[in-house]
A and B are shown apart, each in its own frame.
Chain A
Amino acid sequence: MTSLTETDHGAASREEGARQVRAVPRWRRGLRPYLLIVPALLLTGGILYPFGLGLYYTLFDFSASKPQPDMVGFENYRTVFTQEAFWNSAWVTVLYAVGAAAVETVLGVAVALLLHRSSLIGRVLEKILILPLMIAPVIAAIIWKLMLQPSVGVINHLLKPFGLGGVQWTDTPTGALLSSIAVDVWVYTPFVAILALAGLRSLPTSPFEAAAVDGAGWWYTFRRLTLPMLWPYVLVAVIFRFMDSLKVFDIIYALTEGGPGDSTVVLQIRAYLEAIRFQRYSFGISYTIVLWAVVYLAAMVLVRYLGRLQNRAAEVSK
């Protein structure tokens, strides 16, 4: 588009082209997006079907010992909610999710702030920040299991000079829960840190310059400027982490298998034990349906929030 005449010509043919596009019948144009999305939906349907089947199973007393199951209505759910084991699992799950998400948030934001200072060391370390995040959580749990062995693990070996040689990390109820949270923190703190760092880098610089001119202190700037502006980014990470931790399975399975006793039996582990280990299929599925409902509600809140966040961002950039 170098000369005016060419531009004019372009505008004319654009109108013509628009007429051509309009020439395709309306109903066919309306159908196009659906056609494009159908394959994805079919594939999704391949997953929705077993989900529906699972939901249907929960109305029966379907188990290995009872291959010809009777319809029992909502009996499975009634049993779930009246069972002490369920409430224990729900409690352990909430402790785990809140604990992991809280520690990851504080630690992740701290790491992001330190990296944002961009010293030479920071720039080098930033490149390797993601490494733990890319290791499968189950492999991370295996790694930590080896390190936390009471008598032969390296952690107790390193603690020996401090008089703490024989800590039973995963063999006490509190220790097992804290150890599994520690593995979660090891794997996922980089996730919070990466999102927080991306947030920090996208913040406008002028408010900070103004604050510096006014002689505002570090703490004041952090509390009044950095944190409020960063919060939307961090909250995305927090919600992601909280929802993922609610359905933790692999870390616990490899590290403690739910023990000792029932101390780390989170809901997905309980569902696994009931459905696969004890082969009470429909009862096990009821557990996961209850968990699914909770996580689904949380997901709805997240997507609403993301929509609001994106709208707000769009308004600001206008």
Chain B
Amino acid sequence: MTRKDRRSERKPGGKPWLGWLADAALVLYFVFALFPIAWMVILSLKPANQLFSTYFSFTPTLDSYRTVLGDSEGIPFVRFFVNSLVVSLGAVALSLVVGLPAAYASARWRFKGSENLMFTLLSFRFAPELTVIIPLFVLYQKLGLFDTYVGMVWVLQLVTLPLIVWIMRSYFADLTPELEQAALLDGYTRKQAFFKVALPLVKPGIAAVSLLAFIFAWNNFVFPLILTSSQAQTVTVGALSFLGGDRPKYNLTAAAALVSVVPPLLLALTIQRYLVRGLSFGAVKS
């Protein structure tokens, strides 16, 4: 809000140029928000010899993508991409299996210590990652979990499990308990009532929170940075390696960065409606 805005919007509806001013401010923000992404597209399409010569005119080429996806710089980027897929999916699947019952229990029953347990789970969301990574680094070396899928899936729970438990808890809490009670009256067991009544009703929530958890796991950087070296390394660490060396390869870095953001961006656009609840851990219901 500029000073001009405040002074003149006193009489709403009166001056159409105020609306234009607001639109202009909005467009300005979105230029700031979108220009870096657009610039990466441009940079990734530039041939290596025109990288710094003229900025906005060049002959587009897909060479950068070919190099990045073809492993020709000694950086197995496709492998990193597959690794990211495997460990993120693994973490989400495991978190769902243990997280859904926990979320259901904490939404349906007020039991001794329930709030403390839930708070403990949530507190991992705010723990500095390095607090557990450094001991894990030592531990993983001993156990042979360093640079493995299992090791990565285990540690990525720190990202995915609290998210899934807290969001699903608020979805379950929104279901009226009478639905399951009615099912119990119809002769269902507790287990059946959970699987056949409660679970299907929160399916949209499960889908949204799984995608969001996947994005968070995919975007994580510090866990793979320290707990992997080559076999289980992920795209976030892999993209950084194009900046190394004597001459940083700008076009390759740009291409790698873009390839690595495609999955989260696509998923985000599909679950946009559910994002608010997910991002705020259910604190703001959309």
Contact = CB atoms under 8 A, between A and B. Distances in A.
Interface of A: 13-14, 16-17, 20-21, 30, 32-34, 36-37, 39-44, 46-47, 50-51, 53-54, 57, 107, 110-111, 113-115, 117, 119, 121-122, 125, 127-140, 142-147, 152, 154, 157, 186, 189-191, 194-195, 198-199, 212, 217-219, 233, 236-237, 240, 243-244, 247, 249-250, 253-254, 267-268, 271-272, 275-276, 281, 284-285, 288-289, 291-292, 295-296, 298-300, 302-303, 306, 309-310
B286 interface: yes
Contacts of A140: 36
Interface stretch (B59-67, B69-77, B151-159, B200-208): B151-159
B36 A143 contact: yes
Given A134-B219, A135-B261, A143-B37, 13 more contacts: A17-B184, A43-B98, A46-B157, A47-B155, A117-B22, A136-B219, A142-B243, A219-B7, A237-B280, A250-B236, A268-B130, A284-B130, A309-B283
B155 A37 contact: no
30 contacts: A17-B185, A37-B105, A39-B97, A46-B154, A50-B135, A53-B138, A110-B29, A114-B23, A119-B19, A119-B26, A125-B27, A132-B33, A133-B268, A134-B215, A134-B264, A136-B260, A136-B264, A157-B55, A195-B276, A198-B276, A199-B284, A219-B10, A247-B128, A253-B221, A253-B222, A268-B222, A276-B134, A284-B130, A285-B131, A292-B131
Contacts of A244: 126
Contacts of A36: 101-102, 104-105
A76 to B, nearest CB: 13
Contacts of B280: 195, 236-237, 240
B135 A47 contact: no
B239 A139 contact: yes
B87 to A, nearest CB: 14
Contacts, number: 289
Given A117-B19, A137-B221, A299 B126 contact: yes
B23 A249 contact: no
- Please report whether the interface of chain A is mostly helix, strand, loop or mixed according to DSSP: helix
A114 B257 contact: no
A145 B275 contact: no
Interface centre among B32, B108, B279 (most CB of A within 10 A): B279
B119 interface: yes
Contacts of A253: 221-222, 225
B218 interface: yes
Contacts of B34: 128, 131
Given A50-B135, A57-B135, A134-B265, A142 B253 contact: yes
A154 B268 CA distance: 28
Chain B interface extent, by class: 35 or more
A114 B120 CA distance: 38
Contacts of B179: none
B48 to A, nearest CB: 13
B163 interface: no
B275 A130 contact: yes
Given A33-B106, A37-B102, A51-B131, A44 B124 contact: yes
Contacts of B267: 134
B43 to A, nearest CB: 7
Interface string B91-119: 00010011101101110110100100101
Which of A41, A218, A219, A267 gathers the greatest number of chain B CB atoms within 10 Å? A218
B88 to A, nearest CB: 12
A14 B275 contact: no
Interface string B232-266: 00001001100100000010011001001100110
A191 B283 CA distance: 13
Contacts of B165: 40
